[in-house]
Amino acid sequence: MNFKILEKLKQLPRHGVPSQDSRGQGIPPTSPASASPTAAGATVSPAVNSINEQVQQLAQQLANEMVAEQAQMRGIARLGRTYTKFDMVNDVVSKQKETVTAGLWSDSIANLTTFFTSSTQTNSQRQYYVDVLQGDPATDGSVIQFSVAYGHAAGSGSNSVGQLNDSPSKAIYSQYRQLLLNPGNSRFTTAGSGSTDSIYVINFKRNRLRERLDAGNFELPLRFLSGSTHNVTSNASGSLNVSSSVTYTLIDDSSVSSATLGDSGKIYNIVSGSINGGVYNSTSPDYYGLAYPDHGVLILDANMLDGKLSYSTNVSSSTEANNHFRLFHSVSGSSLLTNPASSDPYGFQARNSEQITSTHYFVRVKNAEYNFSNNPSYVTGSVGQLAQTSFVNDPKTYVTTVGLYNDQRELLAVAKLSKPLLKSFSREALIRVKLDF
């Protein structure tokens, strides 16, 4: 600010204020009675006009210099800016929710056509359930995708070694009854056969589910087991080629019916149908069980599988029937047949679903900002000359990364652009950074 102008303004006489004599004493103004009368509308004296003009000129000069100084400070701040503070009202949009889905199986694929069991499971574990992998367990990257199990309310179909209460099938039924049914309900009830003591279970691996199974986007192929020349209860790995060429596909009925709400969340019926074709005979469908998408569990009614797919579930007491291998071989065997609707092998199709909460940060870069770089390759020589001579009057940078910092300038997150973004005095940029929680 020009303080000389301020001093000049202070020294100018002010209209109506007593002037000072040589001794610094005030000279009183002339009283109205002693002053010479003047005509109405008389003009102000030239001396007063001169003073007013000087004041206006000096004030305008001072205002212009203040505006120029502020513009210069803003320019310096922008040209050398390293951080820009967000306008929390206009630049930040928070709590944006959206539901995203992805293929449920490894590598986010949605159709699984290879099925393996692993010898790393002990015989004791196989009495309760069997893990299913997408590849040969001996190869890298082969991991568990889902598990199959068999449960019976009274413990039938598994060897209790004289202790019926400790049989694996009863433990499986009790486990899923406590997990999925409302308090006071002791039996699973399906629209296919009513209250049932005998169930098959498919339990998706939790880390594959994200939040839940995506209702309306799973299709389970089951191959008819009648006439098999193989032992469908054997502990075999890979796809078992049973003699039947009939395959059923099961989906949930979310496309035609609303979910039933229970303590375990949403519940849908499992019916005969396909993802593309919808529910078969939607007015009177065949019901095969219950889907619990929030838990990633499918409960299949063994009575329906016995009647429709000839599972012949063994419910003898104190017998190690290995019924869950019937389900495994039915699923894996279907992949050896071609689906006439797609001309591809039958596969177990499934997708996961999760709700994402996002915050959007709008990074606004004005034309005069961030046109220089701290990268050592940007300058050369001992005095920091620009390495590219063409940048002397027209500097350019390429934005590749946006860092988000807190008030203490601690780096919290980094966003990478898909490709470098050219920035110069003739270009501005608006970059949206999305953080998902």
State the CB neighbour count (10 A cutoff) for residue 277.
Answer: 11
CA-to-CA distance for 88 and 391, rounded, in angstroms? 34
- 395-409 burial, b if ≥16 CB within 10 A, otherwise e? bbbebeebeeeeeee
Note the pLDDT tens digit of each residue in 248-279.
999 999 999 999 999 999 999 999 999 999 99
Residue 338 has pLDDT above 70, yes or no: yes
The better pLDDT of the pair 183, 244 is held by: 183
Q: What is the pLDDT of residues 99-158, one digit of tens each?
A: 899 999 999 999 999 999 998 898 889 899 999 999 999 899 999 999 999 999 999 999
Q: CA angle at residue 151 from 147 to 157, to 5 degrees?
A: 115
What is the rounded average pLDDT of the residues 401-430?
93
**What digits encode the pLDDT tens for the residues 365-382?**
998 888 888 888 888 888
Q: How far is CA 402 from CA 396, 416, 433, in A?
A: 17, 7, 8
> Mind giving me the DSSP string for 262-275?
ETTEEEEEEEEEET
Model pLDDT for residues 56-108, shown as the tens digit of each residue = 888 888 888 888 877 766 665 555 677 889 999 999 999 899 889 999 999 99
Q: Rounded CA gap, 293 and 212, in Å? A: 5
Tokens of 159: 């060897």
Confidence band, pLDDT 50/70/90 cuts, at residue 217: very high
Confidence of residue 35 (pLDDT cuts 50, 70, 90): very low
pLDDT band at 36 (very low <50, low <70, confident <90, very high): very low
What is the per-residue pLDDT for 11? 62
CB-facing half-sphere around the CA of 80: CA atoms within 13 A: 5
pLDDT at site 196: 96
Average the pLDDT over 313-331 and give the result: 91
Rounded to whole angstroms, the Cα distance separating 112 from 115 reads 8
Per-residue pLDDT for 324 more than 90? yes
CA distance 393 to 289: 74
